[in-house]
Amino acid sequence: MSTPTGLGPVPPEMPADELAVANSVPESQGRLIWRRFVGNKVAVASVIILLAIIVFSFSAIGLGPIPGWWKYGYKELNPQANGGNPTLSVLPQFLGGNGISLGDHPFGQDRIGKDYFAMTMRGIQNSALVMVVLGLIATVLGVVVGAIAGYYRGIVDAILMRVTDIFIVIPALVIGSVVGNWFGSLGAPVLAIMLGFFSWMGIARLVRGEFLSLREREFVEAARVAGASDMRIIFKHILPNAAGVVIVSATLIMASAILLETALSYLGYGIRSPDVSLGLLISSNQSAFQTRPWLFWWPGLFIVSLALLVNFIGDGLRDAFDPRHRRFKLSKMRETRPEPELETAP
């Protein structure tokens, strides 16, 4: 199902000139994709905002021993000022850029006086960390497993895919809870790595599908005749052609990673105090919903923003790689189900 069904009619969404380019000069594929992506205003804006938020969060409170420009740390206890209310008096333009100077605790303070702005920034850092680490590990593992299975086919494929099935049977949140319950207290990086080890199955499926079809193409045959090793064929010849699938699903895995971490923290299986994650902030301040709503809304705002931005980027990438909307990849990464053993009748 994931293989293209051949040249279809020109869909209405694709401008005719782009199609012409696509068909004429194969070398410019990368540039073409880049141009299409850059043409997508929403996606480009999303990239910019996402990077801005992440850079902002890292610069604000620093990372590890490196201090940031914000005066409080996320673990520091401060005396309760202003009754813990946010001191941000002007609604920030977009990122809080001009609101920061307006007070000691722009986002308020939590119950024991920690600065909520610093905590929210730490939460963003951790979400970003989980997103990137989980996404990378899942992608690398998925690509390796999928590539080997798709390239070698036969018994290797059968074994690897059955192993994939075993992992896939457990819903993401369930396995995430178990992993989180086990490793959550070891800190965000460990948690992200461990979650990554259990999130690669969707990509493996997709990559395998791509490899199964790509390995039959002439250029692979040519490389093989030229004496290229299997590894070289897999990584130098086939993989670049499957890059679209990989990049798009990696992005979407990252979006779901944010939500997964959030949900786990909410259930108490994610990042643990004194470290901070956005989900944990919401979870531990849920009772403050009516009394001190800012404790609830700030992390909520950033969770939704991060996930939304990454989803927009994913959508933009998908459009760029495959402007015909041939495959509905938005949900592809979620589509972690055994491939039907079906064949297409001739």
Partner 1 sequence: MVSFILRRILVSILILVAASFLMYVMVGYSAQPLQDLQGSNSPNKQELINARVARLDLDVAPPLRWVLWISGVAKCAIPFANACDLGSTISNAQVVDILPNALAATVQLVTFALVLAILLGVTIGIITALRQYSGLDNTMTFVSFFLYSLPAFLVAVLLKEFIAIGFNDFLRDPVIGGLALVVIGLIVGAIWQSLLGGDAKRRLVVFLVSGLATSGVLLVMSATGWFMRPGLGAIPIIVLVAAIALGSATLLAGLRNRRAFITAGINAVIAIVAYLTLQPLFDVSSAGTLFILAVATAAVGLLSGFLAGGFDRGQNMRVGLVTALLSGAVVLLDRFMQSWGDLLTATNGRPIATVGSKTPGLSGDVWLAGLDTFAHLTLPTIALLLISFAGYTRYSRAGMLEVLSLDYIRTARAKGLPERTVIVRHAFRNMLIPLTTLVAFDVGALLGGAIITEKVFAIPGMGSLFNAGLDRGDLNPVMGYFLVVAAMAITFNFLADMAYAGLDPRVRIR
Partner 2 sequence: MSIRGKLFRKSLCGVAVLGVAALTLTACTTSGSTGTSTDAAAGGGTVTVAVVNDFTSFNNQTPQSNLDTNGQVGYLMGNYGSAFSYIDKDFKIVHEEKFGTFKKTSDDPQTVTYTLNPDDKWSDGEPVTADDMVLSWATQSGYYNSSTTDAASGDVVSGTQYFEIAASTAGLDTTAFPTVSDDNLSMTLVYGTPYVDWELVNPIGQPAHIVAKKAGLGSAADLTALMKGLPKGDTANPVAADPTLKAAADFVNTGYDVTAFPTDPDLLVSSGPMVPTGWTPGQSFTMERNKYYVGGMIPKVDKIVMRVIPDANAQVTALQNGEVDIINPQASADTLTALENTGADVLTGDQVSYDHLDLRFDQPVFADLKVRQAFLKTIPRQQILDSIVTPVNPDAKVLDSQIWVPANDAYADSVANNGSEDYAEVDIDGAKALLAGATPSIRILYNTKNPNRVDEFQAIQASAAKAGITVVDAGSPDWSSLLEGGDYDASLFGWISPGVGSAGISQIFSTDGGGNYNQYTGTNDDAIATQTTLDPDELIVLEKKMDKQMFADAYGLPLFQLPGVFGVSKRVSGVEYMGNQTGPFWNFWQWSVSK
**Rounded-to-integer distance, Cα 269 and Cα 272, Å:** 8
Stretch that binds partner 1, among 16-24, 67-75, 136-144, 256-264 (CB under 8 A): 256-264
Taken in order 123, 124, 127, 128, is the CA torsion positive or negative? negative
Instruction: Work out whether 129 is an interface residue with partner 1 (CB under 8 A).
Output: no
Are the C-beta atoms of 127 and 277 separated by less than 8 Å?
yes
Q: Which does 152 bind (CB under 5 to 8 A by kind): partner 1, partner 2, none?
A: none
Is 289 a binding residue for partner 2 by CB under 8 A? The answer is yes
CA-nearest of 154, 167, 241, 158 to 202 is: 167
267 binds partner 1 (CB under 8 A): yes
Q: Quick one: 215 or 272, whose CB is closer to partner 2?
A: 272
Per-residue interface string for the shown chain with partner 2, residues 16-55, x marking contact by CB under 8 A: ----------------------------------------
Q: Does 172 bind partner 1 (CB under 8 A)?
A: yes
Answer positive or negative: Cα dihedral of 76, 77, 78, 82: positive
Tell me how far apart the alpha carbons of residues 240 and 135 are, in angstroms, rounded to a whole number.
18
Question: Under the criterion CB under 8 A, does residue 272 sit at the interface with partner 2?
Answer: yes
Give the count of residues interacting with partner 1 (CB under 8 A). Answer: 61
**One of 181, 213, 224, 228 touching partner 1 (CB under 8 A):** 181
In this structure, are residues 296 and 289 in contact, taking their beta carbons and an 8 Å threshold? yes
SS3 109: strand
* Interface size with partner 2, residues (CB under 8 A): 21
Residue 178 CB, nearest approach to partner 1 (Å): 5
Q: Cis omega before residue 274 (within 30°)?
A: yes
Alpha-carbon dihedral angle through residues 54, 58, 64, 67, given to the nearest 10 degrees: 180
Q: Of 229 and 287, which has the nearer Cβ to partner 2? A: 287
List residues near partner 2 by CB under 8 A: 75, 77, 111-113, 184-185, 268, 272-274, 284-292, 295
